[in-house]
Structure 1
């Protein structure tokens, strides 16, 4: 079955339909996301993020949320916020297809680096990233900011 990529932005036609279809897959990676997935994603896309969905005849197999921006460390950075493949479709090539698609897009945009962060508990994902010839070049630190 042929794979296709749908590249979505805030003003994309059929955005709501694709987001509704993507929610169960996205929640495989981010189960803690609050209710209101579609409106949250519309807000994030409205802030400049993009969403790529790999599908076969409309069945979503993998997704990537990403954005590009300049920084002082690696120039024009193509940053992948989320990358997830349907658990039942692991090792079917969807993740490789999507990351290759992202790399081609990043190259076309003039980006100098493709980056992502991955939780320390995600060993299987890390093996995949190493197979995709990605390297670990930094630690990511976080401090939660509590609001008054």
Structure 2
């Protein structure tokens, strides 16, 4: 019997429910900042927040948004993808990333892209070996004070 369910999280209460899992990836955020950023991204940037539930327990979360750039053309950017620490290695990340890929195809986007911290070597193996992603570039950032 299928016990997994993918649900788009759209309300403030939904966003709050995703915070304990997202906090495992975005450790620098407090709950109020997280909620404010997600709500702003949803309103201004077409950000979508989706959770995977197994037996009614949230086990993984993905945030993504459609984009258009000259480099990638029409694509979907995966902003955040995290599986609850207690639920890793059960295929949940694969299910959510596949969900994003299917969403992208259904909405006529040509690619899915993401960045991953240099220290996250296990995640890199997952993206390359399991999911078939190619390393395309380095991402650079600069803090503006």
User: What TM-score, normalized to structure 1?
Assistant: 0.89
Long gaps (5+) in structure 2: none
Secondary structure of the 1:29 match is: coil
- Shift of the alpha carbon at 1:127? 1.1
Secondary structure of the 2:15 match is: helix
**Where do residues 98-113 of structure 1 align in structure 2 (5 Å cutoff)?**
98-113=96-111
Aligned residues: 141
The equivalent position to 1:42 in structure 2, one of 39, 42, 61, is 39
Aligned to 1:144: 143
CA distance in 1: counterparts of 2:47 and 2:55, whole angstroms: 25
Long gaps (5+) in structure 1: none
Deviations 1:3-47 (A, max 9, x none): 111123xxx4xx222222110100000010144032332122112
- Shift of the alpha carbon at 1:77? 1.1
Secondary structure of the 2:90 match is: coil
Q: Calculate the aligned-residue CA RMSD, in Å.
A: 1.4
Aligned to 1:132: 131
* 2:14 counterpart of 1:2: no
Aligned to 1:22: 18
CA distance in 2: counterparts of 1:90 and 1:31, whole angstroms: 18
User: What TM-score, normalized to structure 2?
Assistant: 0.91
CA distance in 2: counterparts of 1:84 and 1:63, whole angstroms: 6
Aligned to 1:61: 59
CA distance in 2: counterparts of 1:98 and 1:39, whole angstroms: 23
Runs of 4+ that moved beyond 3 A: none
Secondary structure of the 2:67 match is: strand
Deviations 1:122-144 (A, max 9, x none): 11111111121001011111111
